[in-house]
Amino acid sequence: MTHERSLAAPQFPGDDGTVAPELAAAFGDDVRVLQVLSDVRLFVPIIALLGETPADGDKDADMAAVLMTGADGRTALMAFSSVATMAAWDPQARPVPILGRDAARATLDEGAAAILLDLASPTFTVVETDDVAHLAVGHRLVDSAAGAAWVVPTD
């Protein structure tokens, strides 16, 4: 009897860590960024948090996503469009690839109010609370005669 084993297919095969072209083209236009963000790959930085050092001298560490607290007391999840923009912020952070809509869900799961995309970069963008909520549930931002509006996809 043989047992075949297989690994799950990677979510982003062939990903080279650069910014998604559709996101790169959208930077500078916050509405356009929101229109493409749901379906593009981002990187959430994971860092090691040193825990207590037990008597035996072994160090205990936990891994955690990075949340920042603003002057107004709100927290935000950090995310980056590329490995390079994340490394410019913190070269020690581990990049975890995630779709934009999943980053929005993670933001809400963490009790955060916003996403800080590409902090300390020329492409820095804040995705605010209402927009995070729309992205998390799969709504799409579309252009209309009255301006951009969130809609529920019918598919």
Q: For 75-91, how does the pLDDT look when each residue is reduced to its tens digit (9 = 90+)?
A: 999 999 999 999 999 99
Share of residues in the chain with pLDDT > 90 (%): 72
User: Global pTM?
Assistant: 0.84
Containing structural domain, residue 146: 21-48+61-150
Q: Is residue 14 assigned to a domain?
A: no
Q: What is the CATH number of the domain that holds 82?
A: 3.40.1350.90
The answer on pLDDT for 59 being more than 70 is no
How far, in Å, CA of 7 to CA of 90, rounded?
30
Nearest to 77 by CA among 58, 102, 103, 95: 103
Contact residues for 124 (Cβ-Cβ < 8 A; gap 6+): 116, 117, 118
3-state DSSP: the chain helix, strand, coil percent, rounded to 5? 25, 30, 45
Interstrand relation of 75-79 and 114-117 (parallel, antiparallel or unpaired): parallel
**What domain count does the chain have?**
1
Q: Is residue 11 assigned to a domain?
A: no
Q: Is residue 27 assigned to a domain?
A: yes
83 C-beta neighbours (distance < 10 Å), count: 17
Q: Is residue 84 assigned to a domain?
A: yes
